[in-house]
Amino acid sequence: MDKQNSYIVGGHRFYMSMPVESVLWNGVDNYKPFIETEDTIEGDRVDTLDSCVFSLYVDTVSAGTELMESSKVLAEFDDDTAFISVMTGGKGERIFQISLNREMRDRGGLLVIGEDYRNCKLYAGACNGGGHGHFVLNNALMLLYALFTATRNTLLIHASVAVADGKGYVFLGKSGTGKSTHTRLWLNNIPGAWLLNDDNPVVKIEDDGNVMVYGSPWSGKTPCYRNEKAPLGAVVRLSQAPHNSIRRLTGIQAYAALAPSASSMKWDRVMADGLHNTLSGIIQSVGIFHLECLPDADAAHLCHDTVK
Partner 1 sequence: MRIKKGFVLRELAGEKIISGEGLEQIDFNKIVTLNSSAAYIWEHISNREFDLETIVDLLLERYDIERSVALKDSRSLLDNWKSIGLVEE
Asked whether position 266 contacts partner 1 by CB under 8 A, the answer is yes
Q: What single-letter amino acid sits at 211?
A: V
Sign of CA dihedral 40, 214, 100, 119: positive
Answer for which of 8, 276, 302, 306 binds partner 1 (CB under 8 A) is 276
Q: Which of 222, 255, 281, 294 binds partner 1 (CB under 8 A)?
A: 255
**What does the buried/exposed string (b/e) look like for 59-75 if buried means 16 or more CB atoms within 10 Å of the residue's CB?**
bbeebbeebbeebeeee
Residue 223 burial (CB count, 10 A):
9
Instruction: Judge whether 139 and 84 are in contact, CB under 8 Å.
Output: yes
Q: Which stretch binds partner 1 (CB under 8 A): 3-11, 51-59, 186-194, 278-286?
A: 278-286
- Closer to partner 1 by CB, 32 or 266: give it: 266
C-alpha 268: how far from its chain's center? 17
**Total of residues contacting partner 1 (CB under 8 A):** 18
- The residue (of 220 and 281) whose beta carbon lies closer to partner 1 is 281
Calculate ∠ Cα 251-153-162, nearest 5°: 75
Estimate the crossing angle of helix 251-258 against helix 269-285, to 10 degrees. 120
Residue 274 CA to residue 272 CA, distance in Å, equals 5
Listed ranges 109-117, 120-128, 189-197, 250-258: which one lies at the site for partner 1 (CB under 8 A): 250-258
Beta pairing class for 211-214 and 35-41: unpaired
281 binds partner 1 (CB under 8 A): no
Q: Site for partner 1 (CB under 8 A): which residue of 101, 260, 297, 308?
A: 260
CB of 290 to partner 1, least distance (A): 15
Between CA 289 and CA 65 the distance in angstroms is: 47
Q: Which of residues 79-118 bind partner 1 (CB under 8 A)?
A: 86
Minimum CB separation from partner 1 for residue 256, in Å? 5
Identify whether the C-beta of residue 186 lies closer than 8 Å to the C-beta of residue 300. Answer: yes
Q: Which amino acid is at 251?
A: G
User: In a 10 Å sphere around its CB, with 0-12 CB exposed, 13-18 middle and 19+ buried, how is residue 92 labelled?
Assistant: exposed
Cβ proximity to partner 1: between 283 and 303 the closer is 283
> In what helix (H) or strand (E) does residue 136 lie, and over which residues does it extend?
helix 130-149
Out of 90, 209, 251, 295, the only residue in the binding site for partner 1 (CB under 8 A) is 251
CB of 277 to partner 1, least distance (A): 10
Subset of 47-86 contacting partner 1 (CB under 8 A): 74-75, 77, 86
- Per CB under 8 A, the segment of 22-30, 164-172, 199-207, 248-256 that binds partner 1 is 248-256
> Judged by CB under 8 A, does residue 246 bind partner 1?
no
Q: How many CA atoms lie within 13 A of 22 on its CB side?
A: 29
To partner 1, the closest distance from the beta carbon of 150 in angstroms equals 12
Q: Which is nearer to partner 1, 161 or 211 (CB)?
A: 211
Given the rule CB under 8 A, which residues bind partner 1?
74-75, 77, 86, 251-252, 255-256, 259-260, 266-267, 269, 272, 276, 280, 283-284
